[in-house]
Structure 1
Amino acid sequence: MRCSIAARRWPPRPRPLFDEAQLVELTDGSIAKVLGPDYAEADSYPIRTRMPSPPYMFASRITALSAQPGKLEPCFIEWEYDLHPDAWYVSDGLVPAFVSLEASHAMIVAFTYIGCDQLFKGQLRYRAVDSQTTVYGPLPKAGEVLRGRVNIKSFLKVGKNVLIAYEYLCYVGDRLSFKLEANSGFFLPKDIEKSKGVNTAPYLKAGQPAEPFQPPLRCGRASFDNSHIEALQRGDFVACFGDAAYAASRAPRLYAPAAKMLDRVVSISASGGAFGLGEAVAERDIDPSHWVFRAHFKNDPVMPGTFLVEGCEQLVKFYLCYLGLYSLPGMVPHALSPHSYSAKFRGEVKCEADTLRYRLTCKSIHCDYQADGQLERMALVFLAEIIYRGNVIGMCDNLGAGFSRAPAAADASAPALTAIEA
């Protein structure tokens, strides 16, 4: 089941197969009430196949579905999501990447329709494994309609577990924004617990020695507490970094308030890390009462992988501010495209009080200059490790950020990061 990466001509909007109210019922209520009495058995299992609950449900309607009840075979599902300008996640008019990426969980409706809960007798739990994403253009923005299609390529039984290979294509109108190739699956809880984490050592092996990068600004602070982060969130660069040289910096806020995933930066250096191009380590305190555990998933609470990646992206944004890149006159932040990056998860963050840690390593910084010596464009690439209870449970490789000199009419509000599904 192949799909071109070119622009797709979507048919006129059909009457949805399932509307938003039905999706909420499937997720938080009764499957049988929507799909009929043949699915009553699934309702008897407290832990079953569910999309994330609102407000972490990013699907407004299902528009097409080829899955067949009782058959674990290739199929597709299509949906739409209305990105309201006043949604809780919108900050400075921007929609963070985790929304578009988490929207892929609309495909869980296909698993529900197939009857995976009946097939697995409620014994298996759905989890993400890894992904490779290629960005072709801007991510969906507030006020637009996201159109998604997941092509489920295969189901593979490994013991009692089931591995799933799929691709997710995210469109805005007829334009393809990004494509994600991924693996997920249904797993026994004991097998989830046995995961030994991700070995990131091969990703941190430096090749050619990197040419030293001289950041526009140098900050004397090597760590930052929550008050510094909150100051930067307010746009007060001087209060955060303690130097008047940062006064001219302007940047979008780090996060929407309900999506904050950064409490402190415990260490940071513009010349540290395996490549000598910089390293930052940050933490987020895990609060079991956080709203996201009630949404992801009902009766099976774990921190969403996309929220963990959002924490990595917030640290990247902080690091870009720390380097003084937002102080460069005439330089516009943007997503790198076309650009590919990957994510891998071998563990989960539980609904228990603890501390999550991120370690960000800058892998490369590429700069192009005009004939007069002015910076024309730059691209930064990072490896982010997600550390929980002493293990690297997740990794995002090739997170990218770009800045370019652009005409005054250019859109300076474009997000500076690309993002990954988990």
Structure 2
Amino acid sequence: MTTLEFAGDPLPLLPTTPAPPPDPVPATSGTSLRDTLAQAHVSALRAQAALQKLMLRTVAAPRPTTPAAAAPAVAEEGAFKPLAHTPVTTLTPAQLAQLAAGDIAGVFGPAYDQGEANPDLRLAAGKTLVLTGVDGLTRTGLTATCDTTDLVEAAVQAAQVVALRLGLHLCLPDATFVQQHSGHAEGVAGGGLELTVLAAGLVPRPHVKVEAHFRGGGRVSDLVVAVHEKPGTPIGPERGGTVPAWLGRKGATGERAMLSEFHLAHLAHGDQGIAFGPEFAHYTGTKATRLPNGGLLLVDRVLHLHGRRGELDGATYETEYDSPADSWYYADTANDSMPNFVYMETSLQAALLIGYYLGPTLSTPDATMSLRNLGGTATVLREVDLRGKTIRQRSELVSTTILPGSSLQSFRYVLSCDGEPFYQGETLFGYFSDEALANQTGLDAGRSVPTWLAENPAPVRRLDIAARRADPSAPLVARNKLALLDHVDVVDGGGRHSLGYLHSVRRIDPDEWFFTRHFHLDPVIPGSLGVESVIHALQEWLLDSGLADDLRDPGFIVPVGAEFTWKYRGQFLPTDGETRLEAHIKDVRRAPGRVRVTADASLWKPGLRIYELTDLAVELRERGAQPW
């Protein structure tokens, strides 16, 4: 997570940036043009044949109907993520009466329970309940029957039902519903309505913006219903980082959380004083350390902190992230399950947020400081399908070093699911002034280091990823928001290890979706997506290589037991023009039903090599294949 993140409202899908023409590469001495064309033609035929075999296997052997292979409706990147989930899709008059009595968990399930919190938060509080039934309820709206001529009141109550279904009450301890925008009504009610959620969010307070259409032709527009704390109710940490009382949120196992989705949303793009306490309020609206937002905000709650603000060594803490089965990244990845960048982002975000909470920047409160990841090492411990699961992150701030114009923090972390660890690593973050960021020298002390291909000109053959992606039936290809590469140029037998060399250039579009997500007021490409782009190149090479031709119904995974190291010494900005990557294949391993490819890689911005990746691996395996 070092050079990318996201924030703000969902953006329309952007067209893929056209691929630049390949770099001119002279043929090696002694190689005729005819031989070069023949080699390219044979390579293209081989790639086409391998792809056809893979597609035929996929058609002939469909994926089994399992939770890992199911295809739920997909939530778009940036869509509001409910704070709790329920199987309830209809409501009887009796259930509506329960909501009017404040029994939210009794209707929607235990994930909505707050015990003694929010005693006065209830449907139609102080009003006559006008809804008589809900025929269909989702996170994006409902259809209901009603008995009233008051269009606005019927729409308000329907909006309150949706707000409760989204769990908006779960991040405040003593709140009520408020109507922030009264709504514009016209026409007559009739006996029912259809309500659509136009927007939902947690900043500045949990809210839904809706419109309602009635069977009698009536309509209510511009209606906003929010959940707001009662006057005098604490909603965030006090000065010094003390949480005065329970702030209303419970974790996945029912324990009381220290900070909730509400606080992390404010850290990402809202009021940092609400998020972390009054000392941080002056960072609001300025370029400062933040979490990503939208579909790149991949940590939800802080459960426990063993440490104190101002003590910058030795703190430990536990956080949680809920990974819904309908998350956009499960739909867009070529993997069977969670893509590598989410493993990286959720662990790194969990680490950085408490490191920042303890106050490393507060000694120079007027300085503009940006947070960047500098590197780390991580290992997947076991293969696990994380759809619909809660990831628990245990992190440790190992040390903090304060330097002129910057400071460094190192962390260790372990991620668990269902009580069992599945991922571990360590990482280093830095806080940098604008001047320090402007004077970065990359990985090579400011020298312009050429790619291997520039120093070893050779014929290349192109893997056309954009063409594969354009075919909706093409298997095992990243799509939509994860369409990070359009092509890869291959030198067979090239690279440092003579096992294969990959090279790709992609233009940077300043309007690409991730710049609004990572970070608010400080846009850079997430480092994790730079790593993900190299993974995509390796995956495409593996499919093209013929190494997987004997695998039946294969799927990509993040390999277990493969320690991977990354180092970042720079950032990709919206104005940088292009990214350039190269990968050197260094190892290919085979086992029954499995193929694993390992490579070293680098990424360049114009004139500067800024990322170095060591032992990055991808694996293609048959579903159900035995472990190594």
TM-score category of the 2 structures, normalised to the smaller one: 0.7 to 0.9
In the other structure, the counterpart of 1:384 is 601
Say which SS state the counterpart of residue 107 (structure 1) adopts.
helix
- Of the three residues 282, 294, 315, the one matched with 1:75 is 315
Structure 1 position 271, deviation (Å): 1.2
Cα deviation digits, residues 309-350 of structure 1 (max 9, x gap): 111111111111110233223485554322211001111000
Distance of aligned partners of 1:401 and 1:109 in 2 relative to their CA distance in 1, 3 Å threshold: closer
Letter in 1 for 2:461: A
Say which SS state the counterpart of residue 32 (structure 1) adopts.
helix
Contact 1:287 1:353 in 2 (8 A): no
- Of the three residues 223, 239, 252, the one matched with 2:476 is 252
- Of the three residues 227, 234, 251, the one matched with 2:472 is 234
Equivalent runs, 1:203-352 vs 2, <5 Å: 222-225=461-464, 227-231=466-470, 234-236=472-474, 251-253=475-477, 255-265=478-488, 267-330=489-552, 332=554, 334-352=557-575
Cα deviation digits, residues 364-414 of structure 1 (max 9, x gap): 22346xxxxxx675432101211111322101110123456x6xx7169x9
Contact 1:277 1:363 in 2 (8 A): yes
2:58 is the alignment partner of 1:58: no
Letter in 2 for 1:69: R
- Of the three residues 329, 339, 364, the one matched with 1:96 is 339
Equivalent runs, 1:159-174 vs 2, <5 Å: 159-174=404-419
In the other structure, the counterpart of 1:6 is none
| Equivalent residue pairs, number | 361
In the other structure, the counterpart of 2:375 is 130
- Write the distance in 2 (CA, Å) between the matches of 1:35 and 1:274: 48
Structure 1 position 157, deviation (Å): 2.0
Contact 1:48 1:117 in 2 (8 A): no
Name stretches of at least 5 consecutive residues in structure 2 with no aligned partner.
1-250, 453-458
Contact 1:193 1:347 in 2 (8 A): no
In the other structure, the counterpart of 2:158 is none
In the other structure, the counterpart of 2:263 is 22
Contact 1:270 1:323 in 2 (8 A): no
Structure 1 position 179, deviation (Å): 1.0
More moved, 357-366 vs 376-385: 376-385
- Write the distance in 2 (CA, Å) between the matches of 1:299 and 1:396: 28
2:456 is the alignment partner of 1:181: no
Structure 1 position 269, deviation (Å): 2.6
Distance of aligned partners of 1:198 and 1:229 in 2 relative to their CA distance in 1, 3 Å threshold: farther
Distance of aligned partners of 1:229 and 1:354 in 2 relative to their CA distance in 1, 3 Å threshold: farther
Structure 1 position 228, deviation (Å): 2.4
Structure 1 position 109, deviation (Å): 2.7
- Write the distance in 1 (CA, Å) between the matches of 2:314 and 2:421: 22
Structure-1-length-normalised TM-score: 0.77
Contact 1:49 1:117 in 2 (8 A): no
Equivalent runs, 1:354-393 vs 2, <5 Å: 354-367=577-590, 378-393=595-610
Name stretches of at least 5 consecutive residues in structure 1 with no aligned partner.
1-9, 205-219, 237-250, 369-374, 415-422
- Write the distance in 2 (CA, Å) between the matches of 1:125 and 1:364: 37
Contact 1:140 1:146 in 2 (8 A): no
More moved, 285-294 vs 132-141: 132-141
Segments of 4+ moved more than 6 angstroms: none
In the other structure, the counterpart of 1:410 is 624
Query: What is the Cα-based RMSD across aligned positions, in Å?
Result: 2.9
Letter in 1 for 2:491: S
Contact 1:341 1:396 in 2 (8 A): yes
Structure 1 position 362, deviation (Å): 0.2
- Write the distance in 1 (CA, Å) between the matches of 2:596 and 2:337: 21
- The alignment-based identity, stated in percent, is 22
Contact 1:49 1:108 in 2 (8 A): no
Distance of aligned partners of 1:133 and 1:283 in 2 relative to their CA distance in 1, 3 Å threshold: same
Cα deviation digits, residues 271-309 of structure 1 (max 9, x gap): 111211001111222111112111111111111110111
Say which SS state the counterpart of residue 328 (structure 2) adopts.
coil
- Write the distance in 1 (CA, Å) between the matches of 2:595 and 2:536: 19
Q: Which of 1 and 2 has greater Rg?
A: 2
Cα deviation digits, residues 70-110 of structure 1 (max 9, x gap): 33222122111111111111127622121121012133332
Contact 2:318 2:392 in 1 (8 A): yes
Letter in 2 for 1:86: D
Cα deviation digits, residues 194-217 of structure 1 (max 9, x gap): 33222599xx9xxxxxxxxxxxxx
